[in-house]
Amino acid sequence: MILEYLKPIGAPFVALKNKIFGVKSTIGNAKIEMKAVKGYGAEAKGYADKAGAMAGTAQGAAQGAADQMSQAAGGAPPPGAPGGPPAINPNPPIRTSGIWVFKKKHCTQCNQELDASWDGCPFCKQAAEQQQAAFAAANKPKAPMKTQAFMLNAGATGGGTMQLLGWIIPMQGPQRGELFTLSPATTIGKDPTCQIVLQDGFMSSKHAEIKAEGGIWVLKDLGSTNGTFVNDQRCEKQELVDNDMIMFGKCLVKFKSL
């Protein structure tokens, strides 16, 4: 009975006690939750660092493949062919280990750990694409070198005369170092009627002709006795490129153009 009468008196103290313990419990739970959040953050950072390292490794592999193939110019064998670099498989088999939450995936080619949701290795796929692109770039056929020059005195309608700037310079003999400017059609020989007269006893009277045709310089032998040579190769008609060496008879000259 007495306890029943004392309950109203002690009720405020009981409520205060419960409130104090409730606050402590809330603070404790908050601390536990904060620790959990920090743990998740650290774990997420670990995954991010691992992903960054994996991406860096894959990028290095791709760059290595590109560097390797960029050195293979001039008809190099393709990746995987005899004498060529090892081909990178863009879709290598995936190895799975562990069970349930401990299950992990690894690429059998680059040994990188893969995300559980991946069915292929994106790193090897990128490296294979880089390798093929580098091989294609290294073995791309180069356009033949053409003589570049200015167009002078061209008519407004395009029907004017195209004049290229070109010279020949004797490399030996009494005329060594002398500069002879080419006209749109220049005959070369020992006959005084030629536009360029070279002092060489092995030259024919009208030995050869250098003519501007379609924006390029073309050398044509005019039936000379001892022939005309470009870079040590005898020719009847030959397109000229800057710095070509020409031999008329026994007279060696260097061709220059702009």
The pLDDT tens digits of the residues spanning 53-81 come to: 554 554 555 455 445 544 444 456 777 77
Residue 115: predicted pLDDT: 75
CB 106 within 8 A of CB 116: no
Other CB atoms within a 10 A radius of the CB of residue 240 amount to 20
Helices within 110-215 (DSSP H only):
122-138
Q: Provide, rounded to the nearest whole percent, the portion of the chain with pLDDT above 90.
A: 33
Q: Distance between CA 43 and CA 172 in Å, rounded?
A: 80
46: confidence class by pLDDT, cuts 50, 70, 90: low
Residue 158: predicted pLDDT: 44
Residue whose C-alpha is closest to residue 144's, from 257, 253, 243, 240: 240
Q: Is 106 exposed, middle or buried (0-12, 13-18, 19+ CB in 10 A)?
A: middle
Lowest pLDDT segment from 141-155, 165-179, 214-228, 241-255: 141-155
Residue 146: predicted pLDDT: 41
Report whether pLDDT(51) > 60: no
Residue 118: predicted pLDDT: 75
Mean pLDDT of 18-46: 50
Higher per-residue pLDDT: 182 or 140 = 182
Element (H, E) at 50: helix 2-70
The pLDDT tens digits of the residues spanning 201-248 come to: 899 999 999 999 988 999 999 999 999 999 999 999 999 999 999 999
